Amino acid sequence: MLDLALQELLAECQGDSAIQQRGREMLPRFCDPQYKGGFPAQKKAKHDAVEDLILFLYDEQKVRDLEAVAEHLELVRRDSIRRRKAQVWRRGA
C-alpha cells in the first residue's frame, strides 16, 4: 500500500503548487493509520496487472513454450512409470 501511495504522491504532486493544493488530501494516506480511503493509483495498478496477465496468457511464444514444457513433463512422467514397472518386474522375477 505504501508503494502505491508513494507512486500516487509522485504522480499527483509535481511542483510546489501541486503539493500545496493536494497536500491536505494526500496527508492522511501517509500519517493516519486509520485511513480507509482509496488510492487512485491502486485502480491503475490493478488494470495494468490484468493487462499484463492477458498479454502473458495469450502470447503465442509463451503458449508454445508452455506446450513444450508440458510435453517434456509428460515424457518424464512416462519414463518414470516405465522405470517403476521395470523395478517391480525385476523384484518379482
* Model confidence pLDDT, tens digit, residues 3-40: 777 777 777 777 777 777 877 777 787 788 888 877 66
One domain for residues 70 and 34 = no
One domain for residues 22 and 52 = yes
Q: Is the pLDDT of residue 41 over 70?
A: no
Its domain, for residue 26, covers 1-58
CA torsion 41→45→47→53, rounded to 10°? 180
pTM of the model: 0.34
For residue 51, report the phi and psi dihedrals to the nearest 5 degrees.
Answer: -60, -45
One domain for residues 38 and 64 = no
Total number of domains in the chain: 2
